[in-house]
Amino acid sequence: MSIVDPVLSFLSNQQIFNIIIALIILGVGYFIALLIRRTVFKVGARFYAKNIAGFVSKIVYYLILLIALSTALGYLGVELTGLVIAGGFAGIIVGVALQPLLASFFAGLYVMAERVIQQGEIVSIGNIMGEVVEVSLMFTRIRTFDGVMVTMPNSQLLSTSIQNYSKAVARRLEFTVSIAYSEDAEKAYKVIKETVDNHPYVLAEPAPDIYVSNLGDSGVVITVRVWVPRTLAYPVVKDLLWKIKKSLDEAGISIPFPQLDVWIKTPVTLKKEDWSG
C-alpha cells in the first residue's frame, strides 16, 4: 500500500470532493470580486465622487460574492430553489416599498455622472432658485438667496427643467424704463445708451439692445438688454438701474406715474351751492 492510496481514497469521497470544489469556487469568487471592486472604483472615481464610487464598488463586490456563495452551496447539495423564490418575493415587496428611494438613488447617479449640477453653482429648479450646497445620492440641497435651505429628492431633478446659470460665461439682463409721452424719446434713448455704454461691467459683445417695446397707458416703455459677467449679474442690476434713474433726472426726463384721463361724453352742469345762510 503506497502513501498515495489514502489520499486517493480521501478524494474519492464525493462529499469531500464537493467541499473542496466549493472552497475553490469561494476562493476564486473572492479573488474576482476583489479585482472587479478595485476596477469599478478606479473607473467610477473618474465620473463620481470617491465616496460614491466606493459605495457602488462595494455593491458589485458583495453581489459577486453572493453569486460565488450560491454556486458553492449548490455543489454541497444545498437546495436553493425555495430560498430564491422567497428572496424574489421579498425583493418585489421591498422594491415596491422603496420605489421612491430607488428612483432618487439612480437619479443621483445620473446627475453626478452627467454633472448636471454641482456644488457651488447657481441654479433654478422649478420655482426654487439659489446656490447648490450638496448633491448626494438621494437628495440635492439648495440654499435660496433669502437663506432658506431646500432639500429635494434627486428624482425631482429628472422630472423638471433645470436652469444652470453657472454654466454660462455671461448673463443677459433685461429691464424696462418708462418715460412720459411728453418727453423726447430720442433724447431718453441717448441718455440711457450713454449710461449703459459707460458702465464698466456691461459687455461690448454681445452689444446692448435698447428699444421702445410698448406704448403703455401712462408712458412710453423702453426695454434695456445688456450682457454682463455671470458672477456680477446681481450687483450690475442694482447699480445700472440706479445710474439710469439719476441720468434721466439730470437730463430733465420724467418717469411717469400711473394716471387715468376721464372723458365725460354728456356735458355736465355744475351748480354752486350757497352755504352762507
Of 189, 180, 173, the residue nearest 239 (C-alpha): 173
| Bridge partner list, 211 | 223
Residue 122 exposure: Cα atoms within 13 Å on the Cβ side: 11
CB 133 within 8 A of CB 123: no
Dihedrals phi, psi of 18, to nearest 5 degrees: -65, -35
CA of 189: how far to CAs of 186, 222, 265, in Å?
Answer: 5, 8, 37
What CA–CA distance (Å, rounded) separates 25 from 4? Answer: 25
Residue with cell 455671461: 170
Q: Helices 50-75 & 14-44, crossing angle to 10 degrees?
A: 170
Q: pLDDT by residue for the chain (277 residues), tens digit each?
A: 455 555 555 455 566 767 777 788 888 888 888 888 888 888 877 776 666 777 778 888 888 888 888 787 776 766 666 556 656 655 666 555 556 667 777 777 777 777 788 888 889 888 888 999 988 878 889 999 888 999 988 888 888 888 888 888 888 999 899 998 888 889 999 999 999 999 999 998 889 999 999 888 888 999 999 999 988 888 898 899 999 999 999 999 888 877 666 777 766 666 666 665 5
* Structural domains of the chain ordered from first start: 4-97 (1.10.287), 116-167 (2.30.30.60), 170-250 (3.30.70.100)
Helices H / strands E in the chain, number of each: 7, 8
Whole-number Cα distances in Å, 191 to 147, 232, 235: 37, 23, 21
Its pTM surpasses 0.85: no
From first CA to last CA, the distance across the chain in angstroms is: 152
CB atoms within 10 A of CB 241: 14
Q: How far is Cα 125 from Cα 102, in angstroms, rounded to an integer?
A: 21
3-state secondary structure of 150: strand
